[in-house]
Amino acid sequence: MNTTDNSNPLVFSKADRIAIITIVAVMAVVVGVSYLYPLLQSRKTIESHANLDSLLMVQDVALVNTNTTSLGSATTLSPFDFNPNEMSHQQWEQLGLSERQIKSINNYMSKGGSFKTKSDFAKLYCISEEEYSVLEPFIQLPETYSKPKKQKSGNAPANKPAKEDKRIPHNSAKHEVIDLNIADSTQLATLPRINKYLASRIVRYKNSLGNFVDVEQLLEVKGVDTAFFYSIAPYLALSQADVVKINVNTFEFKALLKHPYLDYDQVKSIVSYREKRGFITDWEQLCAVLDNKGTVNPRLRYYVEF
């Protein structure tokens, strides 16, 4: 007959074995949670920072868009010399006016209206103050209007020659040469055809670049085309001012994105490369990193360091 020795301490009953297995399982869960919890919290923190950076980035883009559109339709103008009394519908369109504005001007003139001075044009309700400030230097009308003097009957000289117009054309007046890297908006506004709004845009663009390295960078400013640039080029100079550089290895995403020569995809490639492979060592390597992300502006080379 087989008998079980219940006095042996190494032999456990079924209930004892279940209790031991349960205790071991609970301890394993506690140890696992204590190990994984810090890792989960760390990951959650990283994701929250990433979400915060994304939110800040969206806010920055929204702010840029707001600032860009705050100037109104004045930024859509492409000014050239014009006489508002002689403009066709197509010429108004080329100037940058909307259909509503053109229709309003045509209605005014169809009822016998005309423009004798620049201020007459400024009185149009369809032209904003900002738009007039942009167009004013190009309006081929006098500042003030003088009525012709009536000649006394019987004393009018026959075939009197017209009086010579000795006024100096706007673009032929003498101006001092201005240094683009030093001048403020007030000084720039003294140049021919540069109003205060364009002068402010030039200064803002210079600051966003970190100073100009080439006078022709002025062509990158909205409102400056080739003809306009060469008309003011004789009055421009460029000092060897220190260029403010950005470090592609240490600057954060938002700081890199602020530079005019880098777009979102390019900055994303730089940051991704840094995180996965380490520092970018030179200009050639940077070009390789940005190879599939659009054209790299060659002038960017003057504004980066490693």
**Quick check: 165 pLDDT over 70?**
no
Q: Are 306 and 280 in contact (CB under 8 A)?
A: yes
CA distance 198 to 218: 11
The 3-state secondary structure of 205-221, one letter per residue: HHHHHCCCCCHHHHHHC
pLDDT for residue 286 is more than 80: yes
Under the banding of pLDDT at 50, 70 and 90, the label for residue 9 is low
Please state, in angstroms and rounded to a whole number, the distance separating the CA atoms of residues 187 and 180. 10
Q: Which residue has the tokens 């009308």?
A: 141
Residues 37-45, mean pLDDT to the nearest whole number: 61
8 A C-beta contact, residue 124 and residue 93: no
Check whether 42 has a pLDDT greater than 80. Answer: no
Place 7 in a pLDDT band, splitting at 50, 70 and 90: low
Distance (Å, whole) CA 281 – CA 288: 11
Mean predicted confidence (pLDDT) in 36-40: 66
The answer, yes or no, to whether residue 306 has pLDDT greater than 90, is: yes
Confidence class of residue 149 from pLDDT cuts 50, 70 and 90? Answer: low
- Asked whether residue 206 carries a pLDDT value surpassing 60, the answer given is yes
Phi first, then psi: what are they for 179, rounded to 5°?
A: -85, 120
Q: pLDDT by residue (tens digit) across 83-117? A: 888 888 888 888 888 998 898 888 788 877 788 88
Q: What is the mean pLDDT of the chain?
A: 77
% of the chain exceeding 90 in pLDDT: 32
Q: Is the pLDDT of residue 258 over 60?
A: yes
What number is the average pLDDT over the span 144-159? 51
Higher pLDDT pick, 63 / 127: 127
**pLDDT value of residue 93:** 87
Q: What integer pLDDT is reported at residue 92 of this predicted model?
A: 87
Q: What is the pLDDT of residue 145?
A: 52
The answer to whether the predicted template modeling score (pTM) of the entire model surpasses 0.75 is no
Amino acid 289 reads: V
Torsion from C-alpha of 74, 77, 83, 88, nearest 10 degrees: -120
**pLDDT for res 163:** 43
Look at 247 and 144; give whichever has higher pLDDT: 247
Strand partners, 305: 247
* pLDDT number for residue 8: 57
CA distances from 186 to 214, 219, 223, 234 (A): 21, 20, 18, 19
Q: What is the pLDDT of residue 26?
A: 82
Regarding predicted confidence, which is higher, 233 or 157?
233
Per-residue pLDDT at 244 exceeds 90 = yes
Cα Rg, the chain, nearest whole Å: 36
CB atoms near residue 280 (< 10 Å): 21
Backbone angles phi, psi at 205, to 5 degrees: -65, -40
Q: Flag whether pLDDT at 12 surpasses 80.
A: no
Per-residue pLDDT at 157: 47
Report, as an integer, the average pLDDT of 45-59. Answer: 48
